[in-house]
Structure 1
Amino acid sequence: MSCSKENTIKSQDSASTLSFRSKNNIEKVSDTFNNGDTILNVNYETGTFDSGISGVTATHASAADAAYMVNPANNGSNYAIAHKIVYGDTAYNSDGNIRSESDAVAIQSARFFPGDERRYEFSVLLKDWTPWVSGSTYETTIYQLKVSGNSTSGSGVPLQFRTARNAMRLRYEGSNTLKDILSDLRPYINQWLNFRVDVLWADDNTGYMKTYMKLPGQSSYTLVDEKTNFRTFAGNVSVGNVGYIKWGVYVTQSPLTRIAYHDNLRIIKLPL
């Protein structure tokens, strides 16, 4: 299902595979939650890049269509945001690489630190995504739980959602820890996919990270990967590292153009 109408608005920002062998091994999770526990809700129903929330950015890429609003979103909402990158075109370059991403780092309540327990949700549509055939891996990041760095300390990315070949992949901090949660995403191109991550942020081995997925036609989320007794916060608060969310499209290979729609980005305080 693709969107029939797109209204392009110039950016105003300045700056191993899941197996279903046994239903008993699949955890189903309800969609319900207490609205009072919601820290951030970016649903774009204002039709604006910031969803009416001061501190939500659109993109740092300079191309006029690096970020634009989509209407209708065809997911039960009126609006969603689209991000676009084109390999080799410097107008889609920001922060040293080909990327067009939104973030909420400026919103203090939306940041995460060790000791915080949070739920992160987002919906994504891979617009006319070019399938992988052979050669380069064709990896593109579509969502990140990221920790900022600074001049005195490096940091990491606790979790990335990436497409790799024709799979949907989780890449954990350190980049050598991978999990393909959807072995073949081609049947879902131009359809909305829904994801949820529950995290206890910890800078020692006491944290957890649980990732859930809801595919088109499914009524509830399914647990697709879980890490426990795990260091989830990849940084050092004492030198200014902070955690935040980013969504959009980041990196691609020649000769690809990548476009992803995002909607219903939420941060919810746990436990509910």
Structure 2
Amino acid sequence: MKQKSVYLPKYMAIAVLFLATACSKVVNRPDSQNLNVPKTAVVPASTLNNGDTILNVTYENGALLSGITGLTATHATAADAAYLINPANNGSNYAIAHKIVYGDSTYLSDGSIRSESDAIAVPNAKFFPGDERRYEFSVLLKDWTPWTAGPTYETNIFQLKVSGNSSTGSGVPLQFRTARNAMRLRYEASSSIKDIITDLRPYVNKWIDFRVDVLWADGPSGYMRTYMKLPGQSNYVLVDEKTNYRTFAGNVSIGNIGYIKWGVYGTQESLTRIAYHDNIRIIKLPLQ
């Protein structure tokens, strides 16, 4: 018994030293990187490896910005231009809803009727020539009014966009749009348009998943591959592909920046549009 009492303080000291050493090795990482650690953690961008999720907007903390510094929920001033839904009925607790009403100035943003989130101020979410990225998002078109007749009146629901500045405009490399009763891809300057769902009506109020793999290039060396997973499908299906293609629609030397936007933009007279978005992710490629 005396021997135990002599060594007990020594053993306790060793245990405390071991615990302190272990704690010092904890690496803090941001909640924008889905690395299965608490959302309060932070990791320097320089330590990221290829294949890491570098943006993960899940809304699971119940906040419009999903806890991500620099994210924008909407620039429209209407109280319901952006709001959270719960439950999302897609396996998540929360998703974001964007709403616009034709002719209502409270849904104006930059001179147009729109309500969109963006990640232009999130460093990891920006893209430039030479970057290889995977973009994923899920969308639900809430009570989407079917087209019956008249002009097309396209509505944007997701954009891979390049910013302009005071001296130049820029392009939009890829837009996901509804047009009449179709879902289509529209490339820069409408150089190419492809309907990937010819009739959306069976999928209204259902979640649809999309994935886009891109090598960003300011010359004819890039690629862009778009995949889709419809309700009831278990795997993504390739729906369009461009190779040996100029994907970056801008000029970095004059300040153009690539970023993503999601929400609703544009509608026809008398209509209200609401779209839900969830699980917006950006992943560095190639995957490891």
Q: Give the TM bin, normalised by the shorter chain.
A: 0.7 to 0.9
Letter in 2 for 1:182: I
Q: Give the counterpart of 1:130 among 134, 140, 145.
A: 145
Deviation at 1:116, TM superposition (A): 0.2
Letter in 1 for 2:169: G
Deviation at 1:138, TM superposition (A): 2.7
The CA distance in 1 between the partners of 2:142 and 2:230, in whole Å, is 16
Letter in 1 for 2:112: N
Q: Give the counterpart of 2:232 among 188, 193, 217.
A: 217
Q: SS in structure 2 opposite 1:218?
A: coil
Aligned to 2:132: 117
The CA distance in 1 between the partners of 2:94 and 2:50, in whole Å, is 21
Q: Give the counterpart of 2:160 among 145, 164, 170.
A: 145
Give the structure-2-normalised TM-score: 0.82
Aligned to 2:266: 251
Q: SS in structure 1 opposite 2:190?
A: coil
The CA distance in 2 between the partners of 1:54 and 1:43, in whole Å, is 14
CA deviations 1:3-51 (Å, max 9, x no partner) are: xxxxxxxxxxxxxxxxxxxxxxxxxxxxxxx996101000100110111
The CA distance in 1 between the partners of 2:238 and 2:77, in whole Å, is 38
- Mean Cα deviation higher: 174-183 or 71-80: 174-183
Deviation at 1:255, TM superposition (A): 1.1
Q: Give the counterpart of 1:50 among 65, 69, 72.
A: 65
Give % identity: 79
Larger radius of gyration between Structure 1 and Structure 2: 2
Q: Give the counterpart of 2:90 among 56, 68, 75.
A: 75
Deviation at 1:55, TM superposition (A): 1.0
Native 8 Å contact 2:50 2:284 kept in 1: no
Aligned to 2:26: none
Q: SS in structure 1 opposite 2:253?
A: helix
Q: Which structure ranks higher in relative contact order (CA pairs < 8 Å, sequence separation ≥ 6)?
A: 1
Number of residue pairs matched by the alignment = 239
Aligned to 2:16: none
The CA distance in 2 between the partners of 1:249 and 1:47, in whole Å, is 21
Aligned to 1:184: 199
Moved over 6 A (4+): none
Give the structure-1-normalised TM-score: 0.87
Q: How does 1:6-25 map to 2 (within 5 A)?
A: none
Aligned to 2:188: 173
Deviation at 1:108, TM superposition (A): 1.1
Deviation at 1:109, TM superposition (A): 1.2
Native 8 Å contact 1:132 1:138 kept in 2: no
Structure 2: any 5+ residue segments left out of the alignment? Answer: 1-48
Structure 1: any 5+ residue segments left out of the alignment? Answer: 1-33
Bigger fraction of residues in helix:
2
Aligned to 1:39: 54
